């Protein structure tokens, strides 16, 4: 039994032949985009619109190798809630009265 080919023929491919992405790097600008960026729109009437885009507060980006294990943000949150339940809660330390008296003396 042979595996079916997944390659598209030239007739099925929507990409133009002059586009060459063989030297492309996935995620090249991802780190800069996480910090926010500015979009400048130059209108035909000579006006310019500048928009600043900032990531939403609380946005966290997963590394690609980690993201491969999660289909969506709900799955990530469920996994993290499971880990949180395993972490022991910090113990409150009580100050003994005899130590306070010794410190004052």
Q: How confident is the model at residue 11 (pLDDT cuts 50, 70, 90)?
A: low
Give the residue extent of every domain in the chain.
Answer: 30-88
| 48: enclosing H helix or E strand | strand 48-53
Considering only residues 76 and 6, tell me which one the structure prediction assigns the higher pLDDT: 76
What are residue 73's phi and psi, to 5 degrees? -70, -30
For 68-93, how does the pLDDT look when each residue is reduced to its tens digit (9 = 90+)?
999 998 999 999 999 999 998 888 88
For 24-37, how does the pLDDT look when each residue is reduced to its tens digit (9 = 90+)?
888 888 777 778 88
Q: Which residues on neighbouring strands pair with residue 40, listed in sequence order? A: 50
Give dist(CA 76, CA 69) in Å, integer.
Answer: 9
């Amino acid at each position: 039994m042979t595996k079916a080919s997944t390659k598209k023929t030239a007739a099925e491919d929507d990409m133009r032949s002059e586009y060459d992405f063989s030297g492309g790097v996935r995620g090249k600008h991802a780190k800069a985009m996480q910090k926010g960026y500015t979009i400048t729109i130059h209108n035909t009437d000579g006006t310019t619109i500048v928009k600043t885009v900032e990531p939403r507060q609380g946005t966290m980006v997963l590394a690609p190798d980690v993201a491969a294990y999660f289909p969506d943000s709900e799955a990530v949150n469920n996994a993290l809630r499971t880990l949180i339940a395993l972490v022991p809660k910090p113990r409150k330390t009580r100050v003994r009265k005899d130590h306070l008296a010794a410190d004052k003396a």
